[in-house]
Amino acid sequence: MRERPLALGAVRAVRRAGLGVPRDVSVVGYDDSALMNSTDPALTTVRQPIEPMGRAAVDLLARQISGVDVPADELLFEPELVVRASTAAAPARVGAR
C-alpha cells in the first residue's frame, strides 16, 4: 500500500520540477488499486495476483495446522504490468543507429 503514495509523490515531484509525466519522465507504481486509473495521469503499475497468493498462503497454513509436512519450496506468482497514461516510449537518442 505504501508504493502507491510514493509513485504519486514522484508524479508530483516531476511536475514541481517543471517536467511532464509521461512527456519527460515515466512513472510506474507497484500494487495496483482501482484508484490508480483515476489519478492524473492514470498510473501504470505492476499488479500482484493477490487472490492466488492469499489462497496459497491459507492452503499452506491449513496443511501445516493439520500436521501435513509442507515443503519449504518457493512459490512463484506472475505479476501483471498494467500500462496506463503515466508511461511513454523512451525518446529516440540523438545519434542512435
Listed by start position, the domains of the chain span 3-82
C-alpha cell at 83: 500500462
Rounded CA-CA distance 14/18 in Å is 7
Strands of 14-77 (E only): list them: 28-30, 44-47
Structure confidence at residue 4 (pLDDT): 56
Q: Is the pTM of this model over 0.75?
A: yes
Q: Tally the residues of the chain.
A: 97
What is the full per-residue pLDDT of the chain (97 aa) written as tens digits? 444 589 999 999 999 999 999 999 999 999 888 889 899 999 999 999 999 999 999 999 999 999 999 888 899 999 999 999 999 998 888 776 6
Q: Are 42 and 8 in contact (CB under 8 A)?
A: no
What lies within 8 Å, CB to CB, of 47 at 6+ separation is 31, 32, 79, 80, 81, 82
